[in-house]
Amino acid sequence: MTRELAFLKGLRNTGGFLGTLLITGAAFIASSMAVPVPGAIRAAAPPSGFLPAPLDFLAFLGSTAFLGYWVARRSTRRGWYRVLQVSALVFGAQTFMTQIETAYFLEAFPLLQGSFEVYRMVLRGALWGVGTSVASALMTGGFRKTAQSREPRFTMDPGRALARTAVLGAAYLALYLLFGYFVAWQSEAVCLFYSGSAEKLGFLAQWGSSFLEKPEIPVFQWFRGCLWILCLVPLFLGFSGSRSELALLSGLALGLLPTAQLAFPNPLMPPAVSLAHFLEVSLSTGLLGAAAALWVPEDRTAD
């Protein structure tokens, strides 16, 4: 009987994930049609990203749907509260956080200058993010009349959470500097794309040069580190699983949601640059997400 129940549960979860995947795909296509990419930008895209079609599409949709479904499956909330919980993570990590950085480094992307494409990217991301979130809530029974709210496993003390977030923001700044140089900047394609030269300066010389051009980078990236953790707060406060599961989910969410879309043909950068940024960001933000899950929320049963 136990095996039969486990089989039925696995079958139900598989069906729920596939339903989420289909609706997420439909939402992505609908948002792309409702807010189309300008022709001049589409024409600049290379024939392929660092993953060939249709693997790029499947990797992006699969990771988005899988993580959205996982968050909803472990949610203690019901109805639209569950939708908001998933949306905060999917839209926040996948679109809002990435486009903040795009806007900050806008001078590196001539195609985006003098247009409203950054705002359109945010709108497209919001539309498919909401579609993913509604699908995840539906497929996990969040709108059933019989659905019951459960007691969340974790809580957060505001003062301690703010202090720990500030510390982790500084940790993110360190990760940004380390992975930016030792992962992304080791790619010759990245050096040529951003500086026009394949010459590699040392760690201190490279970042010193960047800080001379943009002295506010440390403050900006510390602030982004805090915002990454803010995307996770609704997950922390409405999660029913163990801390180790929360750390795994948080790490994968911050590692894959912002980066899976880099697999597509990108009109803003060559595939080799996209791949370098995929490795850089997925590792650094993934570590931040796991660390935040281990340290920021507190066990509800703790004194």
**Number of domains comprising the chain:** 1
Give CA separation, 266 vs 41, 56, 181, in Å.
9, 11, 22
Q: Per-residue pLDDT for 174 more than 70? A: yes
Whole-number percent of the chain with pLDDT over 70: 96
Q: What is the mean pLDDT of residues 194-207?
A: 87
4 pLDDT band, cuts 50/70/90, is low
8 exposed, middle or buried (CB, 10 Å; 0-12, 13-18, 19+)?
A: exposed
Please tell me the predicted confidence (pLDDT) of residue 2.
72
DSSP state of 239: B
Q: What is the mean pLDDT of residues 260-289?
A: 96
- Token pair 């995840």 is found at 136
Confirm if 60 and 98 have CB atoms less than 8 A apart. Answer: no
Q: Per-residue pLDDT for 241 more than 50? A: yes
**Per the structure block, which two tokens stand in for 128?**
């498919």
Please tell me the predicted confidence (pLDDT) of residue 122.
97
Please tell me the predicted confidence (pLDDT) of residue 69.
97
φ, ψ of residue 154 to 5 degrees: the values are -125, 160
pLDDT in tens, 20-62: 999 999 999 999 999 999 998 999 999 999 999 999 999 999 9
Dihedral sign of CA atoms 240, 243, 246, 250 in order? positive
- Token pair 């580190």 is found at 225
* Strand stretches in 106-246, DSSP E: 154-155
Please tell me the predicted confidence (pLDDT) of residue 150.
78
Whole-number percent of the chain with pLDDT over 90: 83
Confirm if 97 and 224 have CB atoms less than 8 A apart. Answer: yes
Which range of residues forms the domain containing residue 75?
2-299
Count of positions (residues) in the chain? 303
In whole angstroms, what is the distance from residue 142 CA to residue 19 CA? 14
201 pLDDT band, cuts 50/70/90, is confident
303 pLDDT band, cuts 50/70/90, is very low
Q: Per-residue pLDDT for 292 more than 90? A: yes
Q: Mean pLDDT: which of 4-18, 70-84, 191-205 is highest?
A: 70-84
Residue 121 CB partners (closer than 8 Å, separation 6+): 95, 99, 102
pLDDT in tens, 73-125: 999 999 999 999 999 999 999 999 999 999 999 988 998 988 889 999 999 99
> What string of DSSP letters covers 5-53?
HHHHHHHHHHHHHHHHHHHHHHHHHHHHHHSPPPHHHHHTS-S--SS-T
Question: Number of C-alpha atoms within 13 angstroms, CB side, residue 298?
Answer: 13
**Which residue in 124, 98, 100, 97 sits closest to 41, CA to CA?**
124
pTM of the full structure = 0.93
